[in-house]
Structure 1
Amino acid sequence: MGILEINDVTLRFGGVVALDKVSYEVKKGEIFSLIGPNGAGKTSMLNCISGLYKPSSGSVCFNGEEITHFKPHKRAALGIARAFQNIELFPHLSVLDNLMLGRHVRMKTGILSGGLYWGKAQKEEVLHRQKVEEVIDFLEIEHIRDTPVGRLAYGLQKRVEVGRALALEPEILLLDEPMAGMNSEEKEDMARYIIDIHEEMETTIILIEHDMGVVMDLSDHIAVLDFGKLIGYGTPYEIQNNQKVIDAYLGVENVG
């Protein structure tokens, strides 16, 4: 049994079928990539996993428990964290404050005790701050910890976006095009951080990425979507030699 099981997931928006009976599993501790042409349904799939979308039919199971009807915050509390393709940070808050927001589902004290910052609430704040400081050290962003996110270069903002998801201490980290818009040096840095997250934090990663070199180098298994349908599933070698996948990316020549 995988840590995540997708069973016949279908997602409809009116007459548009974004996902069509998609099934696969993600094994615990692997880097799993979702690829496909633009509009294939990749982000819609991540939205079904994180709870932003509810499938029209089918099921999503996490650690053997069906979570199809769980709200996003409950899935986050279970250990599913998300970094978005379009940066969803608070630009006027510091890096540190943005990362602290990633701890919100782990906080147990109530509004009153938290507002007074006394006793149990104070101790909890210290513990959460320690976890965030570990993420700051891990991602090598100590020098910008007090800088408002809106002042940062794009590549650093993407790193903070990943950091906020990491602050949740997830079992599964969903990364939606973490290297989009980056230069080659920034891509190399992000690839290194993804490997480190996987190996040092033993985090299962589901990755959407258009750079096929990165996908083939990092992934243990790959699922390929095209017009909402699963057309390929396997190891990087198997995907590279899958004719349906080749046709989807390169097109099929019409002869005659």
Structure 2
Amino acid sequence: MAILEVNDLSLKFGGVKALDQVSYHVEKGEIFSLIGPNGAGKTSMLNCISGLYTPSSGSIKFKGQEILGMKPYNRTSLGISRAFQNIALFAHMSVLDNLKLGRHVRMKSGMFKGGMYWGGAEKEEVSHRRSVEQVIEFLEMQDIRHTPVGTLPYGLQKRVEVGRALALEPELILLDEPMAGMNSAEKEDMARFILDMHELNGITVFLIEHDMGVIMDLSDHIAVLDFGKRIGFGTPEEIQKNSEVIRAYLGEQEVTT
């Protein structure tokens, strides 16, 4: 069953077509990857799904419901969260506080006065803190929970960025190059976390990444963009044999190794 359906999606910036009638679907519970050269339209696609950009035409359905026209926070409440390629954290705040701040989007009851929660919000805050602690444990960040994010190495900051998206308990998580700038050990850890959120927590993962080894190892299905157009869609094996994808992106060596 498709959790995300993108149909004939187009996005224009003046006379430039960032996306040109792109269609694909993402199955519930899978790891889906979107790949392509720099400038192919990958991040623009995530911006359309998360509500930061308004497409020129087309349709995006999440669990069968049209989400175009919805505000980003309404899409979050439906079960979509996102980790950004360029880290968007509060550097002076701790890991714990960054995750809690993202989680507070889900606060629904009571009110906050004079530094204290009143009414139903107090119990809700305890519940949200429990969820945040589960994310900290899942991403193995127990030792840095009180550390200001700005003092952490880049790889750990990327992990906190992913953690903030996970703290929203999404059904679909959008990961925009979560391994960019990481060393080999950090990439291995992130790949393991992605597999675990997929296999253990049942989260559908939408991944953008330039490391083709990671993409081919993790993905169930892959869509390929080039100059805003979809030039390939299928399993990793099918993508590796797609002549148009080879010419535009993978190259002969990627297929023969």
- TM-score, structure 2 as length reference: 0.95
AA of the residue aligned to 2:78: L
Does the residue aligned with 2:224 lie in a helix, a strand or coil? Answer: strand
Q: Sequence identity of aligned pairs in percent? A: 74
Query: Aligned residue for 1:107?
Result: 107
Q: Secondary structure at the match of 1:69?
A: coil
Instruction: Name the structure 1 match of 2:242.
Output: 242
Match of 1:91 in 2: 91
State the Cα distance separating 1:118 from its structure 2 match.
2.7
Change (3 A) 1:40 1:114: farther
Measure how far apart 1:111 and its partner are: 4.0
Q: CA deviation at 1:227?
A: 0.1
Report matched runs for 1:43-192 at 5 Å: 43-112=43-112, 116-192=116-192
1:109 deviates by 2.3
1:37 alignment partner in structure 2: 37
Deviation of 1:101 after TM superposition, in Å, equals 1.6
Aligned position for 2:198: 198
Partner of 2:255: none
- State whether residues 111 and 121 of structure 2, in contact with CA within 8 Å, keep that contact through their aligned partners in structure 1: no
Aligned to 2:209: 209
Paired residue for 1:228? 228
1:116 Cα shift? 3.7
Match of 2:15 in 1: 15
Cα distance in 2 between the residues matched to 1:251 and 1:213? 14
Q: CA deviation at 1:249?
A: 1.7
Q: Distance in 1 between matches of 2:191 and 2:112?
A: 42
C-alpha RMSD of the superposition? 1.4
Measure how far apart 1:113 and its partner are.
5.9
List alignment gaps of at least 5 residues for structure 2.
Answer: 253-257
Question: How many Å separate the matches in 1 of 2:59 and 2:69?
Answer: 9
After the TM superposition, which parts of structure 1 deviate over 3 Å for at least 4 consecutive aligned residues? 110-116
CA distance in 2 between counterparts of 1:160 and 1:44 reads: 23
Gapped runs of 5+ residues in structure 1? none
Q: 1:239 to 1:109 in 2, by over 3 A?
A: same
2: CA distance, partners of 1:220 / 1:211: 16
Kindly state the Cα deviation for residue 93 of structure 1 after the two structures are TM-superposed.
0.6
TM-score, L = length of structure 1: 0.96
The answer to whether the Cα contact below 8 Å between 2:107 and 2:121 also exists between their aligned partners in 1 is no
Alignment size in residue pairs: 252
1:32 counterpart SS class: strand
